[in-house]
Structure 1
Amino acid sequence: MARLHLFDLDGTLIRGSAAAVEISRQLGLSDEIAALEHHFARNGLTPDEFAVRARELWEGLTQDQLIAAFDGAPWMEGIREVWADIRTRGDHCAVISLSPDFFVERLLPWGAHAAHGSRWPSVPFTEPVDRSGILDAVAKVKIANQLCAEFEVKLDECVAYGDSMSDAHIFAAVPVAVAVNADHHLSELATHAYTGSDLREAYELVRFRQ
């Protein structure tokens, strides 16, 4: 019976950081994005408003800076190896993230079957952010259902990996969930919890329970 492994990006595949943080670092805007992230986490800033404000900060973003942000991010070790093993077993793996699609989709060559992020204009920007294309936590479940239909897998045959309360909805929707470097709020909702820098170790928690 095939399974679908669903991975969050920020704080999960990227340890202790996020796509927005790494992009802003390349632009010398670390303080500015930290303030925006704080507003998002603490003061109820919506994902679409966050995106609009981030787009303003990143007005001059180039493809070279985007590539540098992606390549320089603190990725978990073993991502390619985990996804290769998933494929070898006849299972599927996908990334679902609120981060910009132009960053998330760069993971496809690493072995993900699918990578879904918020819909942003192409880099360099010539258009505004379309708020309707920005994902929220609930949208992760909707996309998971779409992927299940695409890969002919049931939602109760999925495993979710995440780190924050934005993953709470998807954790509640699947039978097996792995909290990766998460605080106790999410860990208490998870089947398994992992702290460390190697995705292979987190994957081992569910690999032999198929």
Structure 2
Amino acid sequence: MFDLDGTLIHGSAAAVEISRQLGVEREIDRLEQDFAAGRLTPVGFATAACELWGETLTDAIVTAAFDGAPWLDGIRDVWADIAARGERCAVISLSPHFFVERLLAWGADAAHGSRWPDVPLRDRVNPAGILDAGAKVRIADELCAAYGLERADCVAYGDSMSDALLFAAVPVSVAVNADHHVRDVASHSYTGRDLREAYGLVGARVR
């Protein structure tokens, strides 16, 4: 199970990459700081970001943000190896679904993001669709049930406080370019730009 922002995307986030395409990096940086400091909830962040982007956000801009993001190297290699072993991989992220779900084309078996309004952003944010840290554990449990697995079968990869509850719920975790919230509680810690190397820390070498 893989987080997106700061984990698969090195030093950035879906919202940051979308805002860069729209020329509102400074504004999204303030929202990111407020969210990290606890001054914005996930619902508050989603609402403010939707107001910032509005109907100027198009599918073409989301595609450009996705394609231009600073992804870790080796993501598709790792996911192909997971599939070859008869195992499953999923992305669980607080970021908007219309960004996260694009990772299905890279080989993820499941990709869960917050359910933001569809692009262009004409509708209001529905708080019920916005994920938080606890939702990551709930989704992990749902995936385990769907695939006939248990928490004991799982490995989690993440970088920040939103991953801490999931790290506590599974037996093996890898902190990837992480802050102290998860680095201090993870089974393994990795700093770098290649997911194959982080994957190798749990003994799963890419074939």
2:32 to 22, 29, 37: 37
Name the aligned partner's letter for residue 146 of structure 2.
Answer: E
Residues 164 and 181, structure 2, Cα contact 8 Å, conserved in 1: no
The runs of at least 4 aligned residues of structure 1 exceeding 3 Å deviation read none
The answer to whether residue 185 in structure 2 is matched with residue 172 in structure 1 is no
The answer to whether residue 182 in structure 2 is matched with residue 163 in structure 1 is no
Q: Deviations over 1:150-170 (max 9, x none)?
A: 111111110000000110000
Gaps of 5+ in 1: 1-5
Name the aligned partner's letter for residue 68 of structure 1.
Answer: A
Task: Give 1:25 deviation, angstroms.
Answer: 0.4
1:197 to 180, 184, 193: 193
Equivalent runs, 1:130-145 vs 2, <5 Å = 130-145=126-141
Give the secondary structure class of the aligned counterpart of 2:72. coil
Name the aligned partner's letter for residue 34 of structure 2.
Answer: H
Task: Give 1:184 deviation, angstroms.
Answer: 2.8
Task: Give 1:122 deviation, angstroms.
Answer: 1.2
Name the aligned partner's letter for residue 2 of structure 2.
Answer: F
Task: Give 1:208 deviation, angstroms.
Answer: 4.0
Q: Give the whole-Å Cα distance in 2 for the aligned partners of 1:39 and 1:57.
A: 15
Give the secondary structure class of the aligned counterpart of 2:175. strand
Give the secondary structure class of the aligned counterpart of 1:206. coil
Name the aligned partner's letter for residue 80 of structure 1.
Answer: R
> Which region of structure 1 is more displaced relative to structure 2, 24-33 or 180-189?
180-189
Task: Give 1:44 deviation, angstroms.
Answer: 2.8
Aligned to 2:18: 23
Q: Deviations over 1:180-209 (max 9, x none)?
A: 001233111000000000000000011349
Count of residue pairs brought into register by the alignment: 204
Q: Give the whole-Å Cα distance in 1 for the aligned partners of 2:72 and 2:179.
A: 17
Aligned to 2:182: 186
Provide TM-score, normalisation by structure 1. 0.95
Equivalent runs, 1:42-191 vs 2, <5 Å = 42-59=37-54, 60-191=56-187
Gaps of 5+ in 2: none
Provide TM-score, normalisation by structure 2. 0.96
